[in-house]
Amino acid sequence: MREAKPDIGARIVGGNDAAQGSALHQVSIRLGYIEGVPKKHFCGGSVLNDKWILSAAHCTYQVPAGILTAVVGSIKLSTGGDSYDIETIENHPDYDPKTIKHDISLLKVKGTIKFGDNVQPIELPTSDIGVGEVCTVTGWGDTDNQNTVPDNLQALDVKTISKEKCNKELAPAREYLPIEDNQLCTFNKAREGICGGDSGGPLVKDKKQVGIVSWGAPCAVGVPDVFTRVYSYVDWIKKNIGK
């Protein structure tokens, strides 16, 4: 089996174009160092309220807020949407870049996110998610292992699996194991799953965000994908976005 090194900056393989209006919370987080040069999508996120965006710490760890923008309100990378500069970043204090544990961050925008027909916040979970649940992951990026980047937001239904099965299937990725209770795994089959660029993006069940794309074996090679379990961090999220 291919070694399960985490793919930082992931994309969905085996998905379909997301329907208009199906992911009004979706964010494209864009990075750019040179003034005047368009910033490029590198991670996903989700709108929590009119000031805060939820993403993954491995996207924002040691990244200056000033070089990031968040684009909301479009299912295309090339056109549409509203852009907001990022004012501050709150990475989880226990985030470990060596093991990719506690992989969650919050981004505060400058100004206020305007809600409307194309932009709405996502709900946080009020209960934990079990095994065998069908959820939807969305994101932009490579749809294969040949760096094919779609313009349209991609969506894929995936099924949650147990922590025990995930640890067994990801055994080659020893430095990132064990998968813990505050993480969540999904798996369908080979050629379906996340790749690079979906990182930080939402995993949704019944209009509530249950996961954040964390890492996987690039790309969709037949092993589980790993998410941050949002339910484990609801108190931390609420505490920070209440600032």
Q: Which domains does the chain have, with CATH numbers?
A: 10-17+122-231 (2.40.10.10), 26-121+235-241 (2.40.10.10)
> What pLDDT is attached to residue 131?
98
> What pLDDT is attached to residue 141?
65
> What pLDDT is attached to residue 16?
85
> Which pLDDT tens digits describe the chain residue by residue (243 residues)?
233 344 433 446 777 889 889 999 999 999 988 877 888 999 999 999 999 999 999 999 999 999 999 999 999 999 999 999 999 999 999 999 999 999 999 999 999 999 999 999 999 999 999 999 999 999 986 555 556 667 899 999 999 999 999 999 999 888 999 999 999 999 988 888 888 789 999 999 999 999 999 998 777 788 999 999 999 999 999 999 986
Q: Which residues are catalytic?
A: 58, 103, 199
> What pLDDT is attached to residue 24?
98
d(CA 29, CA 113): 14
* CA distances (Å), origin 233, targets 82, 142, 169, 173, 192: 28, 29, 25, 24, 27
Whole-model pTM above 0.85? yes
* CA distances (Å), origin 120, targets 32, 57, 114: 26, 23, 9
| Spacing of C-alpha 42 from chain mean position | 11
User: Could you tell me if 179 and 166 are in contact, meaning their C-beta atoms sit under 8 angstroms apart?
Assistant: yes
